[in-house]
């Protein structure tokens, strides 16, 4: 069980467990390559291939968030989730945490897909990993005033920079898209809550 400061963070713990189990299954069953090929997100199938079923592309958008390429990939992602997820989950509650996690994952993958398909001509490459979703959680934390969210984003940028020299293919725009999605949606949520509270105390002079 993941040990976190404060109240338990069951969703964060569950996400870490699910990602780890999927990775372990792929490695132990020697089916990792097949899992990546079948469930990874391929941008061109969504944005350019009119013959590709839309439902299949949308499913891949979701399933790609739970697949990782290697130990280093999953270790970095799950460490970031373990470090920041508990704070975000306890701060905004389970339903919102789940919603923002998925929204950030989709947002990150879509931004990566648009850039890959229309700007970089690399839309046939498969996108996998929870980086977009986890970057969204960093955005949630940053929007809630935890400066560690920005620190982790800086670390991810550094990781991408180093990876470019080590010939590692890292989907930088998925990180950025996820972070911005989490940050924006959380700030929007905060503003909506603020307006609701103000509405409860409206004064109507007679």
Q: Which residue has the tokens 């690399």?
A: 122
Sign of CA dihedral 99, 71, 69, 76: positive
C-alpha 85: how far from chain center: 11
For the annotated catalytic residues, the residue numbers are 131, 175
Q: How far apart are CA 180 and CA 20, in angstroms?
A: 26
Quick check: 180 and 108 in contact, CB under 8 A?
no
127 strand-pairing partners: 41
């Amino acid at each position: 069980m993941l040990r976190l400061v404060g109240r338990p963070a069951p969703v964060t713990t569950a996400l870490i467990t699910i990602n780890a189990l999927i990775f372990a299954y792929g490695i132990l069953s020697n089916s990792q390559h097949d899992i990546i090929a079948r469930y990874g997100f391929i941008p061109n199938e969504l944005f350019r291939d009119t013959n590709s079923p839309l439902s299949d592309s949308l499913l891949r958008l979701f399933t790609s968030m739970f697949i990782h390429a290697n130990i280093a990939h999953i270790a970095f992602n799950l460490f970031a989730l373990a470090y920041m997820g508990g704070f975000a989950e306890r701060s905004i509650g389970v339903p919102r945490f789940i919603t923002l996690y998925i929204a950030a994952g989709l947002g990150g993958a879509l931004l990566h897909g648009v850039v890959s398909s229309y700007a970089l001509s690399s839309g046939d490459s498969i996108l996998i990993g929870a980086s977009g979703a986890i970057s969204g959680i960093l955005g949630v934390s940053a929007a809630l005033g935890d400066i560690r969210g920005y620190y982790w984003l800086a670390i991810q940028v550094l990781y991408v920079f180093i990876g470019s020299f080590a010939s590692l293919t890292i989907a930088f725009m998925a990180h950025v898209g996820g972070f911005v999605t989490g940050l924006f949606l959380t700030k929007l949520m905060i503003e909506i809550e603020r307006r609701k509270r103000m509405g409860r105390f409206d004064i109507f002079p007679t």
